[in-house]
Amino acid sequence: MIIALNNKSNLDKYEFLDYQERINRIDSKEQIIVCPTFLNIGNYTIRKFSLGAQNVSSTEEGAHTGEVSAKALKSFGVDYCIVGHSERRQNQKESNNEINKKIKQLMAQDIIPILCIGETKEERDNNHYKEIIEEEIKTAILSVPNYDTIIIAYEPIWSIGTGVIPTNEQIEEVFSLIKSILPNNKILYGGSANEKNIDQLKKIKNNDGFLLGGLSLKPAELSIFLNKLI
Ligand code: PGA
């Protein structure tokens, strides 16, 4: 399974060095992708896990103050990059079109995008979630060659950081929808997954792994989670 660790904007330089030492001790057969902050990417040294970023510029390098290009990420050994996380869609007003541009920048540098999609509580309650998810996927892959390699992370927004998880049936319904558009892509689940609910979540059909936020910051609990996957 793919286990992507989204550190979000946590861990300063010193905290990250300590964290890195602790997760380096984790012994797991899963494919682990660590996604630190941009600044901590430069201090990443773990060889047995992959390195991911949490965001990328939608443009090439150039006159774009404050942006980090896909080319620069690649030069630091980044092989994966989260795009379209709901926190960025909501707080930075990232649109599906901008996400599409970011995916193109990443693919041009052979960085595999981890595309986050998912509905709000309101969209689920109003039964609009399928249209929202379809639109998020279709716009993101527009004119993208080889989009089969993109990893999709289904993260219901109402589940992120809330401790509330969907039923496996709700997740499987969305996974089927994703598979109907993207039959060959890997799909992850994300949203409050932890060492306590993994016994339930690991039964999700056609699941290729998990995107972990809060749990990524707790090496001891993460270890328990990974052991329960075996
Ligand atoms: P969470 O975050 O595991 O803390 O809910 C997941 C995410 O935002 O990717």
- Give strand ranges (E) for the chain: 2-6, 31-35, 50-53, 80-83, 112-117, 151-154, 187-190, 209-212
Tell how far the Cα of 165 is from the centroid of ligand 1, in angstroms: 11
Q: Tell me the pLDDT tens digit for each residue of 31-53.
A: 999 999 999 999 999 999 999 99
Tell how far the Cα of 226 is from the centroid of ligand 1, in angstroms: 16
Ligand 1: which atom is nearest the Cα of residue 194?
A: 3
Ligand 1 pocket test, candidate residues 151, 155, 197, most atoms within 8 A of CB: 155
Q: Which residue has the tokens 């997740």?
A: 171
Architecture, CATH, for domain 2-228: Alpha-Beta Barrel (3.20)
Q: Which residues pair with 6 in a beta bridge?
A: 35
Q: Tell me the pLDDT tens digit for each residue of 173-212.
A: 999 999 999 999 999 999 999 999 999 999 999 999 999 9
Q: Tell me the pLDDT tens digit for each residue of 114-142.
A: 999 999 999 999 999 999 999 999 999 99
Q: Whose CA is nearest to atom 3 of ligand 1?
A: 213
pTM: 0.98
3-state DSSP helix/strand/coil percent for the chain, to nearest 5?
Answer: 40, 15, 45
**Strands 151-154, 112-117: parallel, antiparallel or unpaired by DSSP?**
parallel
> Is 155 an active-site residue?
yes
Ligand 1 is surrounded, with C-beta below 6 A, by 6, 155, 160-161, 190-193, 211-215
Ligand 1: which atom is nearest the Cα of residue 193?
A: 3
> Is 172 an active-site residue?
no
3 state SS for 69-120: CHHHHHHCCCCEEEECCHHHHHHCCCCHHHHHHHHHHHHHCCCEEEEEECCC
In one letter, which amino acid is 24?
Answer: N
Task: Give 49's DSSP letter.
Answer: S
